[in-house]
Structure 1
Amino acid sequence: MVAQGFTVDLDKPLAFQVGHLGEAYDEWVHQPIVTKEGPRFFHSDFWEFLTLTVWWAVPVIWLPVVVWCISMSVSMGCSFPEIVSLVALGIFIWTFIEYCLHRFLFHMKTKSYWGNTAHYLIHGYHHKHPMDHLRLVFPPALTAIMCFPLWNLAKLIATPSTAPALFGGGLLGYVMYDLTHYYLHHANPTIPVTKSLKKSHLNHHFRIQDKGYGVTSSLWDIVFGTLPTTKALKRAQQKY
């Protein structure tokens, strides 16, 4: 369903079309098109290029930053047990950030032209084209922007010597998140943990989009009551 008098043309760049859907945008964006190749966003080749990211770019770009951050704390006197604890804490904090971003930003409700456009570019496209293999991980530019508030948070809650390792742990958590996300969409897990994560995430995409916000863990869904119940999943299965 689209707004009266307007239909999205999937053969044309989508970024500046979806805003015209108005209140119908939310329904439209949650009707997935399952193809590995995604749509074009922009007429400009430059801006289009910035939206495309191969999965391996994430570890190649950001793991060296993680190592550098940890080495900074080591050089300032942090012991091995302290480093391990700080990295683990950073990963734990990231799981909470991941949940909050996914629930409150990525799934915000919009109906204005620019609200719909912004939401589509942030996360809506992923629900419309969930198997687009070049738009499953964060573009490096977006991650770099995200690093600024995360670094300031680390400096706020840690000492000068421990903040780099804490930030490095959070960044490592992000890398784990993005790689896990790609894996859940394009791999066939063979162990119970990853099978469960894949099932939960695909339920989020294709059955109950307003539940199951955790990707790397269901911890915060359990804490905040957003883990879908068996009854809700059965109702959603009957619906679709």
Structure 2
Amino acid sequence: MVVQNFVVDLNKALVFQVGHLGGAYEEWVHQPIVSNEGPRFFENEILEFLTRTVWWAIPVIWLPVVCWFIHNSVQMGLSCPHLALLVVLGIFVWTLLEYSLHRFLFHIKTKTYWGNTLHYLLHGCHHKHPMDGLRLVFPPAATAILLMPFWNLVKLMATPSTAPALFGGGLLGYVMYDCTHYYLHHGQPKTEVPRNLKKYHLNHHFRIQDKGFGITSSLWDKVFGTLPPKMDAKSM
């Protein structure tokens, strides 16, 4: 299904075009178009609607779920110190999952029609249009589907009273990640820590795209040797 020397028409729905790029997809998708206006994904209006999510939907939808899971552990008699430890552990585990997904899944190299198409939907669109504000956070419907296997895994690894708190902490980590990711693209940080984190993430988009996979921190990049080289002040 790959078309030789295929040229993507940015004025048409993109999802079913990008697969035709074949081996040229990798280069094309990492040449960002900096515009706050996002491209059209699908001709179908329902599918198109499902690809767009406002950032504040993430805390509005998922923070009550986080509270519900944590409350379940409280109802089963978990003490406050134990509860706090498990929530923090869940957040910590999420940071590793965040790094791993970004490095090994979101940046997988593809060249087949369906490989390119699925990668574009998952993450390629974000690198091609990094300032598209309605596609910076993960659609809640897709998140709900993915949460089920993770919840079942946590239940296998933890006790009935600790599993909800641990899972709630991980889900809280996800909410923090998605909101942070949106802020790094569209916020204007005034203090040093978020300002440096913004530079760190934009460096991943516009300078060295195979390094700097951490979003909420650079911890796992340091641990696994994917920390990008330091840049001078003129680089960003």
TM-score normalised over the length of structure 2: 0.96
Alignment partner, residue 53 of structure 1: 53
Partners in 2 of 1:4 and 1:113 — Cα distance?
12
Q: C-alpha distance in 2, partners of 1:149/1:229? A: 37
Deviations 1:191-216 (A, max 9, x none): 11111110110000000000000000
The answer (yes or no) to whether the contact 2:89–2:169 under 8 Å persists in 1 is: yes
CA distance in 2 between counterparts of 1:207 and 1:149 reads 35
Give the equivalent residue in structure 1 for 2:178. 178
- 2: CA distance, partners of 1:5 / 1:96: 39
Q: Which residue of 1 aligns with 2:144?
A: 144
The AA in structure 1 aligned to 2:45 is D
* Post-superposition offset of 1:86: 0.6
Inter-partner Cα distance in structure 2 for 1:56 and 1:188? 17
Return the alpha-carbon distance in structure 2 between the equivalents of residues 71 and 84 of structure 1. 12
Pairs within 5 Å for 1:141-220: 141-220=141-220
Q: What is the distance in 1 between the residues matched to 2:34 and 2:152?
A: 39
Residues 23-38 of structure 1: matches in 2 within 5 Å? 23-38=23-38
Please say if 1:105 is aligned against 2:105. Answer: yes
Counterpart code for 2:194: T
Match of 1:18 in 2: 18
In structure 1, list runs of 5 or more residues that go unmatched: none
Q: % of aligned pairs identical?
A: 72
Distance 1:97 1:150 in 2: 11
The CA deviation string for residues 16-51 of structure 1, in whole angstroms up to 9 with x for no partner, is: 000000000000000000001100000100000110
- Indicate the SS of the match to 1:134: helix
1:5: how far off? 3.1
Higher mean alpha-carbon deviation, 51-60 vs 152-161, is at 152-161
Shift of 1:103: 0.3
CA shift at 1:156, angstroms? Answer: 2.3
Structure 1, residues 54-103: CA drift from partner, whole Å, max 9, x if none? Answer: 00000000000000000000000001001100100000000000000000
Q: After the TM superposition, which of the residue ranges 218-227 and 3-12 deviates more from structure 2?
A: 3-12
Deviation at 1:229, TM superposition (A): 1.3
Match of 1:66 in 2: 66
- Secondary structure of 2:152's partner? helix
Q: Which runs of 5+ in 2 are unaligned?
A: none
Which letter maps to 2:193?
V
Cα deviation for residue 127 of structure 1 reads 0.1
CA contact (8 A) 2:5 2:21 kept: no
Segment drifting more, 149-158 vs 116-125: 149-158
Quote the RMSD (CA, aligned, Å). Answer: 1.5
TM-score scaled by structure 1? 0.94
Q: Which amino acid aligns with 2:64?
A: P
Partner Cα distance (2:116, 2:212) in 1: 22
Correspondences of 1:125-144 after superposition (within 5 Å): 125-144=125-144
Structure 2: how far apart are the matches of 1:26 and 1:16? 16
Equivalenced residue count is 233
Aligned to 2:221: 221
- Tell me, yes or no, if the aligned pair for 2:58 and 2:175 is still in contact at 8 Å: yes
